[in-house]
Amino acid sequence: MARISLKDVRKSYGSTDVIRGVDIEIEDGEFAVFVGPSGCGKSTLLRMVAGLEDITSGTLSIGDRVVNDLPPKDRKVAMVFQSYAIFPHMTVRENVAFGLTIAGASKAEKDAKVAEAARILQMEPLLDRRPSQLSGGQRQRVAIGRAIVRKPEVFLFDEPLSNLDAALRMDMRMEISKLHKQLGTTMIYVTHDQVEAMTLADKIVVLKGGEVQQIGAPMELYHHPVNAFVAGFLGSPSMNFLDVEVVEANGDAVTVRNGALDPVTVSRASGDYVAGGRALLGIRPQYLVPAADEAASALHGTVGLAERLGTETIVDVALKDGKSLIAALSQDAILEMGAPIGFTFDPAKCHLFAARSA
């Protein structure tokens, strides 16, 4: 077990900067999730922790050792790859025991440890099969088995569920969560899926363009995103952003409005707003409440497409100013396309961000 610390870590391929100075601290036993859109550098960062990519500059420590120049084999990490990367010419047993074989473990030791890993992952019946005889989910288990059998100090997962179908993905997500509780080992998990991030993480690291956007517990990031990117990335459906005009800025209270929005006063978390300037108002779809009386509402539009999911209704709303937004109504509702609709919302649940740069 070990804590991991990245200090001003950078990575460039020639003149392309892929990781642009990243500071992350992961506590011993923590489940950290790196999340961000495709191409933001998640895998690169993970592979640097594993030792598969050189670190251009900065300091990477695992435990109390600086590991910048240590080869992967000396880092006491185990990794589960997106493609599973199990060896096709070996049986499941040989795959799981690979690290032990390499380390010269005795047959008795290997048998005992493989048996235990197989028990934890419920794959005893598979041990003598070849990878070509396994389904995607089973291959995944083998890859995880190979990782846990060596008792590494850190587990690294690179989008391990992205090749599985939706139902299996949910099962495996829960199993990975259980595994973490059972083993208590530090884990870093990379995904572009915010649901995986929200459900698995003790600590989420949101990345974009090779830079850390925000680090924190899932709910902290959900409720207090520091910028529009984080706010929009976490939560489903995504947060709505309204381009608004600042009517009045009075201490922490900022009043904003636009063509579809009656003036509303929200409290600012950060940033400078001046009367007459522009800003971005973020409202999660769940916090929009349809007003019984259109006149009493703060936000005006007409009903577009509605998706009825039973527990929830997702409505696409065409706003009066020509923009659109998504509302998630908490019960089943029958809405007529084109009918006028108005919403109220709690200003305390809104987020104010700097305007998008033109």
Ligand X SMILES: Nc1ncnc2c1ncn2[C@@H]1O[C@H](COP(=O)(O)OP(=O)(O)O)[C@@H](O)[C@H]1O
* x/- map, 43-72, ligand X, by CB under 6 A: xx----------------------------
One of 6, 31, 33, 42 touching ligand X (CB under 6 A):
42
Q: Are 24 and 201 in contact (CB under 8 A)?
A: no
Instruction: Give CA–CA dist 20/214, Å, rounded.
Output: 14
Q: Residue 37 or 263: which CB sits closer to ligand X?
A: 37
Q: Which of 60, 77, 317, 318 binds other proteins (CB under 8 A)?
A: 77
**Kind of pairing between the strands at 154-158 and 186-191:** parallel
Identify residues 228-287 at the interface with ligand X (CB under 6 A): none
Given a contact cutoff of 8 angstroms between Cβ atoms, the answer to whether 158 and 81 are in contact is: yes
Binding segment (CB under 8 A) for other proteins, from list 80-88, 120-128, 218-226, 242-250: 80-88
Q: Which is nearer to ligand X, 41 or 301 (CB)?
A: 41
Is residue 24 within 8 A of residue 6, CB to CB? The reply is yes
Min dist. Cβ of residue 73 to other proteins (A): 4
Q: How many CA atoms lie within 13 A of 83 on its CB side?
A: 4
The interface partner of residue 50, options being Mg ion, ligand X, other proteins, none and the CB cut-off 5 to 8 Å by kind, is: other proteins
* Token pair listed for 350: 């809104």
Query: According to the binding rule CB under 8 A, does residue 103 interact with other proteins?
Result: yes
Closest CA to 203 of 18, 33, 41, 71: 33
SS3 213: strand
- The yes or no reply on residue 320 touching other proteins (CB under 8 A) is no
72 is a contact residue toward other proteins (CB under 8 A): yes
Q: Does 52 bind other proteins (CB under 8 A)?
A: yes
Q: How far apart are CA 234 and CA 193, in angstroms?
A: 9
Among 28, 29, 59, 81, binds other proteins (CB under 8 A): 81
Provide the token pair at 12: 């460039």
**Of the ranges 77-85, 108-116, 261-269, 328-336, which one interacts with other proteins (CB under 8 A)?**
77-85
Other Cβ atoms less than 10 A from the Cβ of 191: the count is 22
CA 151 to chain centre: 26
Of 122-141, binders to other proteins (CB under 8 A) are 130-132
Tell me how far, at minimum, the Cβ of 113 lies from other proteins, in Å: 14
Distance CA 303, CA 193 (A): 29
Which spans of this chain sit near Mg ion (rule: CB under 5 A)?
A: 43
**DSSP H helical ranges for 201-287:** 218-223, 228-233
In the chain, % helix, strand, coil (3-state, to 5) comes to: 30, 35, 35
Q: Does 117 bind other proteins (CB under 8 A)?
A: no
Options 11, 146, 169, 192; binder of other proteins; rule CB under 8 A:
146
Instruction: Pick one of 16, 38, 64, 71: the residue that binds other proteins (CB under 8 A).
Output: 71
Total number of residues binding other proteins (CB under 8 A)? Answer: 29
Nearer to ligand X, 82 or 236 (CB): 82
Residue 44 interacting partner from other proteins, ligand X, Mg ion, none (CB closer than 5 to 8 Å by kind)? ligand X
Assess 194 for contact with ligand X (CB under 6 A): no
Distance (Å, whole) CA 356 – CA 113: 55
Q: Within 10 A of 269 (CB to CB), how many other CB atoms are there?
A: 12
Q: How far is CA 324 from CA 294, 301, 318, in A?
A: 17, 8, 5
Instruction: Give the interface with other proteins as residue ranges (CB under 8 A).
Output: 47, 50-52, 71-73, 77-79, 81-83, 85-89, 98-99, 101-103, 130-132, 146, 150, 156
Which residues of this protein are in contact with ligand X, per CB under 6 A?
13, 16, 18, 36, 38-44
